[in-house]
Amino acid sequence: MKYDQKEFSDELLKEIRNIETTLKDNINSLLLKYKPIFNTKNLVFDGEFHIQGDHPFTPQYVSSISIGISEEKEELIDLHTIKIWECYRSFLGMPISKRIPGSKIVGELLDETLDEVKEELKDYIADHLLNDYNQ
């Protein structure tokens, strides 16, 4: 969901922080649960919560979660990333990197509910557990 800078509020900030914290905790619990299972298949399962930038309402702030699967000491097999919040400057609807007259600050929040994201992550993991990479 897109937000213009005039819609940025303490309430929106709390919602962003809540989603970030909840999904960060969810990634940690998925790692605890599934890492040993992937290890038995000689696969590495990893996940992270990423933040780039200082404050959610400043341009170039991006928060996301990602989970990835790779073979031991090999390259990445698959990576799944979900962007939680992104704040950027735009001009005529196009993202830009520099401040120019007439540009706006816009934020985009994850459209899915927390339950939908958690289900998406579980489905992703289940799909990869069913695949046999060691053929």
- Cα(101)–Cα(98) distance, rounded to whole angstroms? 10
Cα–Cα distance for residue pair 34/11, rounded to 1 Å: 34
Q: Rounded mean pLDDT of 74-78?
A: 80
Reported for 31-37, long-range contacts at CB under 8 A and 24+ positions apart, including other chains, are 34/125, 34/129, 37/129
pLDDT class for 117, splitting at 50, 70, 90? Answer: very high
Average pLDDT over residues 70-85: 86
Name the pLDDT band for 97 (thresholds 50, 70, 90).
Answer: confident
The pLDDT-based confidence of 134 (bands split at 50, 70, 90) is very low
Beta bridge partners of 45: 69
* pTM for this prediction: 0.86
pLDDT at 135 over 50: no
Residue 40, Cβ neighbours under 10 Å: how many?
Answer: 7
CB atoms under 10 Å from CB of 75, counted, come to 6
> What are the domain boundaries of the chain?
2-130
Question: What per-residue confidence (pLDDT) applies to 132?
Answer: 55
The set of residues, in sequence order, having a beta carbon less than 8 Å from that of 96 and lying 6+ positions away, is: 88, 89, 90, 103
End-to-end CA distance of the chain: 42
Mean per-residue pLDDT for 103-115? 94
Give strand pairing partners of 97: none
